[in-house]
């Protein structure tokens, strides 16, 4: 069977990136589903635009209510790869529900041998302090845009980011 990819997308730029990544993976022939962890009604800007495109392509499942989360937890479908595009570099404080539970679910897939790829920063990790939150993705690979974030160098963040890969997006390194 083809590898199943679950893409968990939040709001903001990180979620928007997740929808773009999902679309590109689908175009490459991958079996990929984007789970909308933030109610699409609450999206704006790039996230809204890229959600709409992925939705037109039939790539999206809603995952912003407790019921939807329970339904996914009880499904037998398991991903081989999880794309974490829930919370980005602006995150600080507590991860709220249902996102905290989605983070726990993603980590549980990893315990069953899925690989987690975080977009820019593992969700729940404060990228300035490196402090993990009440729920934090344990990524195997973090694709960081522009440069390594300060928080990745802190001891507290060890075990969350996995291997950090820098993706060039045309921004000069001194902007980071």
Contacts of residues 50-53 at CB distance under 8 Å and 24 or more positions apart, as own/partner, are 50/16, 50/17, 50/19, 50/20, 50/23, 51/9, 51/15, 51/16, 51/19, 53/19, 53/23
DSSP conformation letters of 157-174: GTTTS-EEEEEP-S--GG
As given in the structure block, the two tokens for residue 118 are 């975080």
Question: Of 93, 78, 100, which Cα lies nearest the Cα of 128?
Answer: 93
**Which tens digit of pLDDT belongs to each residue from 116-165?**
999 988 999 987 787 888 999 999 998 876 555 555 555 555 667 777 76
pLDDT bin (cut points 50, 70, 90) of residue 173 is very low
CB 95 within 8 A of CB 133: yes
Note the pLDDT tens digit of each residue in 83-115: 999 998 888 889 999 999 999 999 999 999 999
- The separation between CA 93 and the C-alpha centre of its own chain, rounded to angstroms, equals 18
């Amino acid at each position: 069977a083809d590898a199943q990819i679950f893409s968990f997308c939040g709001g903001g730029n990180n979620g928007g990136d997740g929808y773009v990544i999902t679309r590109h993976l689908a175009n490459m022939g991958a079996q990929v589903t984007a789970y909308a962890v933030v109610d699409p009604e609450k999206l704006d800007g790039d996230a809204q635009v890229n959600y709409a495109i992925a939705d037109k392509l039939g790539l999206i499942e809603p995952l912003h209510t407790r019921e939807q989360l329970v339904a996914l937890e009880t499904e037998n479908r398991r991903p081989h790869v999880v794309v974490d595009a829930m919370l980005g570099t602006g995150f600080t404080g507590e991860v709220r529900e249902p996102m905290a539970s989605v983070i726990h679910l993603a980590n549980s897939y990893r315990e069953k041998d899925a690989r987690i790829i975080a977009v820019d920063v593992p969700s729940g990790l404060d990228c300035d302090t490196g402090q993990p939150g009440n729920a934090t993705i344990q990524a195997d690979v973090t694709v960081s845009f522009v440069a390594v974030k300060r928080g990745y160098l802190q001891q507290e963040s060890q075990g969350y980011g996995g291997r950090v890969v820098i993706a060039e997006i045309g921004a000069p390194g001194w902007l980071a």
